[in-house]
Structure 1
Amino acid sequence: MSAAKYAAVFIVGILVGGIVVYGAFPRKVVKEVVKEVPKEVVKTKEVVKEVTKEVPIKPNFVIVYDQATKIPEGELMRWTNINPGGLYSLELSALILAARYETDAAKRAALYAAVQRLANDELPLIYLYQPHIRLHYWNWVKNYYANPIAPDFKINWLEKDPSAPRPDQIVYVTIGEPESLDPAVSYESAGWFIAGNVYERLVEYYLDHTDYVIPGLAVAWAVSPDGLNYYFAIRAGVKFYDPYEGKTYDLKPSDVVFSIKRVAGIKESPSWIITDFIDVDAVTVVSEDEMKDILAKGLDVPVKGKSYTVKSLDEWVDVFKKEFPEVPYQKDFQIAGFVKVPMIEPYPALPLLASIVGSIVSEDYIKAHATPDDPWATEYMYEHPCGTGAYYVESWEHQAQIVLKPNPHYWGLPKPKIKEFIYKIVPEAQSRILALKAGDADFGYVPAPVEEQMEGVTLEHGGKTWKFIQESKGYDLAQVHLVPNCAKPPFNNKLVRQALAWAIPYDEIIKTVLMGHGDPVYGPIVRGLFGYTEDGITKYNLNLEKAKELLKKAGVDLSKYSIEIAYNEGNKVREQIATILQQTWSQLGFKEVKVTAYAWPTYIDKLETGDFDVGIIGWGADYADPDNFAYPLATGGYKFIGLEVVWLSPTEATVFKTTKDIIMIAPSGRAIVG
């Protein structure tokens, strides 16, 4: 019989109260061949009894596959099919892919918790901290909030006190110019902020919430019971506004189809958010009669952590009129038509479509400005956005400012109250401080190391004393970490990576560099995402003795190695972190520890090509799902055929006993048990 038929891999976790809990004991990794087990036997769960003859375990899930292939080094892309450290790990790859396509929420969270624990032990990255969201603004600004998913905030929610300076205008001082205002092209925070306020998506995040989405250009959504097909009812009465030619275009269901296919056709950096999960060629408009027939068979409606089953259009609509009392425009709506969005595999589509790359554009507008050489009109769309959002771009003075004004055809609520919003690009922190102190800017980006300059600042204006506010608003969906080059010595040794993790003054970094505005993070998944756990996690802290013990155990002579800690120039926070690490790691016995700053394009190129020792970098959410962290930050460079999860009942699981985590690693055609 073929090896593919008999190959089976088992990665087993313990489920307690809906969470995979690895014992509080130190993890034990045992490399040992167990035995060949047919996949068919695995699925009957008889394999558990066979395996436990050799290893005592108390499993709750088993991951099986027909074939695993190690991706050749020449085909590796860091952050894409292997973690940025370049660490090959079959177990991390299998766990992450299993979690990605699990449709049951509790089981999916359990798998991601297992990913968190394994990554915390293997350390493809050395995790530093999760920053707090910090707001810096004058108290004359009302309703200012921050969402960790772009566009950070919606301008139409903002107001100003009538007695404030420039009561109808807001000036936002920040860093960075957009690469493009085209949502299918832009993949950076500046472009996403502007596009997020000019364009809209089928679903949106409500104010600072990331735990659920609200209706946007879709008044309702539903998914087939197998998780493979999403359906959207498209809002009627919405218009795209072209301020450059004074035209409007009606939103049509076909615009949704076109927008998704345009992202795939352009193939720019953010396109993977759509093309990795959505069967783009199969996205289509559905007639009302077809939609009613589909509904009659039953569709699931996931809203706010609950799930309804609906079998008629009226039932479907009623759910969305009742479940969103906080959304004023959802009390009464009309439907323009329906769209079907099929998935390649079962996957939560709503966070993907809430991302900026999921913005809906006008097919008619694009075609009006397309050329034979530019069929998607990306050149024109670069700085001529035409959206349905509350604001439009009046002008863009490059490297200086972008001016937005209220869309006179905006359909939604609240209606814009600020008549002019100026996104002012001010690279120098001290220049931003001066503008804020003078009241020439209303809010902006103030890095932690210079926050003290704005403490207690007040301004007299309009007969009032105004105060400058600096406050935290929970955790950002982001983290900063070290990237050790796991493809080269000495970082290819796990014990060395663990030793380095024990040789970091985390508390000092958070206290002196972040001014206390962050907390340690212990794995790829951050607080605020399901699957985050601290159970069974090693909480690394500064312990040089433990670090030296691990280095001795590793048998690595660090005096042979000169290493470089790299960061992107101009980033003062990372510069300070690098300096602190240089001082601490020099005590471990390296021949030399040096710090080097590189221009951003050079720095990224070095990380992507593996031309580095240790880098300092961050990762922020593209969309609110743990897969957006686990896959790019921890996937292990393997691909699979026939990967599945077999879940065991509590009765089956408790037959066996364990006191330690055990990961059995075996060659092809053998069993792997963890």
Structure 2
Amino acid sequence: MKKVMAALFLVFVLGFAVVASGCISGGGTTSSSSSSTTTSSSSSTSTATSTAKLPKDVMKIETDKSVIYVGPKDEMASVTPESGGKKVIIVSYVVDKANTPSVSKLMQEGQGFGEINPAFFRDEHVDALVMAARRETDPAIRTELFKGLYILGNKYAPEVILGQNKQLRVYWSWVKGRYYHPTLAERYDLLSEDPNAPVVPIGIGNYKNDPKTYVIGTIGWPESFDPAWTYETFGWEVWHEVGDTLVTYWKEETEQVSPDLAVAWAHNKDGTVWYFVIRDGVKAYDPWDNKVYPINAVDVAFTFWRVQRLGHSVSWMVKTFMDISASQALTEDEFNKILQSGDIIADYKGKSEQVKSLNDLLNLFGYNGKTAGVFKLVLPKPYAPVLGILADPFLSVVSMQYVLGDKYQEALKASDNGKKPDAWAAYVQKGENDATHQLMHKKPVGTGPFYVKEYKENSYIVLEKNPYYWNTANKFGHDRVIYVINNDAGGRVQLFQTATVDTVALPPERINDVKGLTFKGYKDIVQTNLLQPILTFIVFNTQKEPFNNPKVREALAYAIPYDQIIQTVYKGLMVRNWGPIPKPWPGYTEYGITKYTYDPNKAKQMLQEAGIDPTKYKIQLIYNSGNSAREKIMTLLQNVWSQLGFQVTVTSYEWPVYLGKTEKGDYDVYVVGWVPDYLDSDNWVGPFLYGATKFKEVNVQVKG
């Protein structure tokens, strides 16, 4: 969720916020727009013996099952691949220099962990492999390309992985129905409580923690209440409760999505055009003025278009995988004519059928209600995980009428009822000063099971049952949800011990404070057994000295006390990982990688090889306030890196400020985590490594 959860995504897990690779040989590659970009190693580190000299800008990467060659198209012609009995994958590319944004421009726009990776690292080989993996349709070849990216992430170390997190979940036994999903929060209307659960005053107004109120003790604050402007898991969690997306994952589903605001969907043969039939009877509830707004396909088209227009870092998924200008709202009659022409396919619950009418499509999905138009979504190229992206809360559908106010009818007419979405550019501006963003940021309005009733920044958020929620069959387990914000871990322990909250986010160091508790005959539950696809890591600013030198980054990777961090900070609730893909996702590999260990002498040696004098550099380590685990990590690094000769300081910032600084490259080194935005290995290697290089061509050839 995500990044910064989206993921993130950044996430509130293990009691803290988490921001929704092999062998290498070959010559150097230079950035198309940044002179401080990392270059690949000029000496071979491959376990295979190479007898042929590669052209300067061609790289060879060896995995356990393949040999990957990647380089500019004009240089690949002279390469004679050596397979060593393995599959050969050749990736050639042509850079589109004119359309590749400079790294400094992306920094100014705050695109870190968005359009470009959080380290602002750029390498054309890496970027070409990311694009190749996105466009490849053969799962086996995609896996090999992902392995190559894992290898490169491990070698170049723009981010150093501290480990992969285990889940720490603490709650009282009166809470029933809890479940886990790797990208989405639980829906709190689907959880319930023992009707005899105790009733405890919360200390916020007249609210009480009773069996119909789910109270969460946590830290931080959402980046924004505008779904188009939040790229961290707190904001995504809120919107999973107060909004609806076209499709969703029902509870623990991961293999397929379920209908939400879209009751059915279909696509053309090559998967570049998708059609989503919109549910009728959905209303956005405005509690601030006690109004409701009906939702239809135009609102969906506007929602997607607005995300890209605002241009926040989360918009990278829309910009990259969707052509919003070509997407539009259709009527049912217009869609029926498209269906009658043939070649439209629907896939649902293991069935794949060519559909010829809207009725056929709705019957396949088992829907017999009314509809509110059809959203046509155009992709520039097929992308298999696209439905997973559509389930992300940042694409929760908003009411065009609510956000545009008295300009609504004018904007509707200008766009020809959603046929010409770019006409909306006159009504929505880029950036955070846009009026629609300022409205949603302060007074959010959605269609989900809850609505935001009231909040006090850095203190509490109250969500109340939505009286206009479309799913009348839903039996609410809770009538309200209250987030109690307390950035002091000891204070949150006390909230839990007194049953003021039903569940609490705690750092692992406080796990013994909540083990074995009882309250009025109920026990607490402490779960630690689930290895999550969540990576915690430190990020170097590769656009600053000395971090623009890959040997310095490798040296500092040897100056991290991993075992001490895992045991003392995380109390064993973390396992080692060495690259940007979690176990056991496709592309994770231990073949030929560097398994960095704590070795200060090796670090000193590599700093000497890098040719730098550590005493000449000041390093500021930053973390988000209230996160005691991250504070301890940075304090440990301060101690070790100071012994190497660096002048090291540690500073904390409140969560929204922290995100603002890191997204704009205003940092030296920071610590963060990543919860996937959607369930595909591309959502780790892309956000971790992609440097925003644009290409005229990326070609993949497979031999053997």
Q: If the length of structure 2 is used for normalisation, what is the TM-score?
A: 0.76
Cα distance in 1 for partners of 2:442, 2:667 equals 36
Q: Is the 8 A contact 2:172 2:524 kept in 1?
A: yes
Residue 305 of structure 2, aligned match among 251, 261, 277: 261
Which residue of 1 is the match for residue 20 of structure 2? Answer: none
Pair 586,437 (structure 1): closer, same or farther in 2 beyond 3 Å = same
> 1:113 and 2:113 equivalent?
no
1:280 equivalent to 2:324? Answer yes
Structure 2 Cα separation of the partners of residues 270 and 581 of structure 1:
30
Instruction: Tell me which of 557, 568, 576 is aligned to 2:632.
Output: 576
Distance change >3 Å, CA 175–CA 31, structure 1 → 2: farther
CA contact (8 A) 2:239 2:394 kept: no
Shift in Å, 1:551: 4.9
Q: CA deviation at 1:280?
A: 1.5
Seen in structure 2, the aligned counterparts of structure 1 residues 604 and 257 have a Cα distance that, compared at 3 Å, is closer
CA contact (8 A) 1:83 1:124 kept: no
Helix, strand or coil at the partner of 2:321: coil
More displaced stretch, 109-118 vs 159-168: 109-118
1:353 aligned residue = 390
2:517 equivalent to 1:457: yes
Any idea what SS the aligned residue of 2:144 has?
A: helix
Give, in whole Å, the separation in 1 of the partners of 2:181 and 2:231.
Answer: 17
Cα drift, residue 352 of structure 1: 2.2
Are residues 1:424 and 2:484 paired?
yes
1:298 and 2:348 matched: no
Q: Judge which range, 607-616 or 354-363, deviates more.
A: 607-616
| Alpha-carbon offset, residue 198 of structure 1 | 1.2
Question: Which of 91, 95, 99 lines up with 2:125 in the alignment?
Answer: 91
Identity over aligned pairs, percent = 36
The answer (yes or no) to whether the contact 1:133–1:146 under 8 Å persists in 2 is: no
> Helix, strand or coil for the counterpart of 1:532?
coil
Please report how far the alpha carbon of residue 438 of structure 1 lies from its aligned counterpart in structure 2 after TM superposition.
Answer: 0.8
Question: Is 1:61 equivalent to 2:89 in the alignment?
Answer: yes
| Matched ranges for 1:182-331 at <5 A | 182-295=226-339, 296-301=341-346, 308-313=352-357, 316-321=361-366
The answer as to 2:136 corresponding to 1:102 is: yes
Q: 1:400 to 1:309 in 2, by over 3 A?
A: same
- CA distance in structure 2 between the partners assigned to 1:563 and 1:548 by the alignment: 16
Matches within 5 A, 1:617-656: 617-636=672-691, 638-641=693-696, 643-648=697-702, 652-653=703-704
Residue type at the aligned position of 1:411: W
- Residue 402 of structure 2 aligns with an amino acid whose one-letter code is Y
2: CA distance, partners of 1:110 / 1:309: 31
Q: Which amino acid aligns with 1:227?
A: G
Show the counterpart of 2:67.
Answer: none
Contact 1:169–1:421, Cα closer than 8 Å, also in 2: yes
Please say if residues 621 and 668 of structure 2, whose CA atoms lie closer than 8 Å, have aligned partners that are also in contact: yes
1:578–1:595 CA contact under 8 A, matched in 2: no
Change (3 A) 1:264 1:82: closer
- How many angstroms does 1:467 deviate by? 1.0
Q: 2:52–2:80: 8 Å Cα contact kept in structure 1?
A: no
- Compute the displacement of 1:290 (Å): 4.0
Q: Secondary structure at the match of 1:503?
A: coil
Give 1:308 deviation, angstroms.
2.4
User: Against the structure 1 CA distance between its residues 517 and 54, is the aligned structure 2 distance closer, same or farther, given a 3 Å change threshold?
Assistant: closer
User: Is the CA contact (8 Å cut-off) linking 2:147 and 2:589 kept in structure 1?
Assistant: yes
Q: 1:503-522 CA distances to partner (integer Å, 9 max, x unpaired)?
A: 33322211110111122222
Cα drift, residue 359 of structure 1: 0.7
8 Å contact kept, 2:220–2:626: no
Amino acid paired to 2:327? V
Q: Distance in 2 between matches of 1:235 and 1:274?
A: 22
Which stretch has the larger CA shift, 25-34 or 498-507? Answer: 25-34
SS of 2:530 mapped into structure 1: strand
Seen in structure 2, the aligned counterparts of structure 1 residues 490 and 377 have a Cα distance that, compared at 3 Å, is: closer
- Please, what is the CA RMSD of the aligned residues? 3.7
Q: Measure how far apart 1:449 and its partner are.
A: 2.0
- Label 1:308 to 1:163 Cα distance change in 2 as closer, same or farther (>3 A): same
TM-score normalised over the length of structure 1:
0.79
C-alpha spacing 1:265/1:86, structure 2 compared with 1 (3 Å): closer
After superposition, the C-alpha distances for 1:477-516 in whole angstroms (9 at most, x for unaligned) are 4322122343455444433433332333322211110111
Equivalent of residue 145 in structure 1, options 179, 182, 207:
179
Whole-angstrom CA distance in 2 between matches of 1:46 and 1:385: 52
Task: Please say if residues 300 and 307 of structure 1, whose CA atoms lie closer than 8 Å, have aligned partners that are also in contact.
Answer: no
The answer to whether structure 1 residue 343 and structure 2 residue 373 are counterparts is no
The CA deviation at 1:82 is 4.5
Relative to structure 1, is the Cα distance of residues 177 and 571 closer, same or farther in structure 2, using a 3 angstrom cutoff?
Answer: closer
- Rounded to whole Å, the distance in 2 between the matches of 1:55 and 1:625 is 28
Please give the alpha-carbon distance, in whole angstroms, between the structure 2 residues aligned to 1:66 and 1:318.
46
Q: Kindly indicate whether residue 537 of structure 2 is the aligned counterpart of residue 481 of structure 1.
A: yes
Q: CA deviation at 1:284?
A: 1.5
CA distance in 1 between partners of 2:380 and 2:522 (Å): 54
Distance across 2 between alignment mates of 1:96 and 1:312: 37
Range with greater deviation from structure 2 (481-490 or 602-611): 602-611
Equivalent pair of 2:541/2:668 in contact (CA under 8 Å): yes
Number of the residue aligned with 1:407: 466
| Structure 1 residue 399, shift from structure 2 partner | 3.6
Give 1:639's aligned amino acid: K
SS of equivalent to 1:65:
strand
- Identify which of 390, 396, 403 aligns with 2:455: 396
Is the contact between residue 404 and residue 427 of structure 2 (CA under 8 Å) also seen in structure 1? no
Structure 2 Cα separation of the partners of residues 92 and 35 of structure 1:
12
Which residue identity is paired with 1:298?
A: D
Q: Distance in 2 between matches of 1:490 and 1:611?
A: 15
8 Å CA contact 2:160, 2:539 repeated in 1: yes
CA contact (8 A) 1:525 1:629 kept: yes
SS in 2 for 1:190: helix
The one-character-per-residue Cα deviations of 1:149-199 (angstroms, maximum 9, x if unpaired) are 24x111111101011012222222222333432222333433322222111
Q: Deviations over 1:380-434 (max 9, x none)?
A: 4334333221112232344432222222332325321322322222232222211
Give ranges in structure 2 of 5+ residues lacking alignment. 1-28, 30-43, 59-69, 199-209, 411-425, 429-434
- Quickly say closer, same or farther: Cα 1:530–1:218, change in 2 above 3 A: farther
Whichever residue aligns with residue 386 of structure 2, its letter is A
Checking the alignment, whether the CA contact within 8 Å between 1:103 and 1:227 is kept in structure 2 is no
Query: What secondary structure does 1:100 align onto?
Result: helix
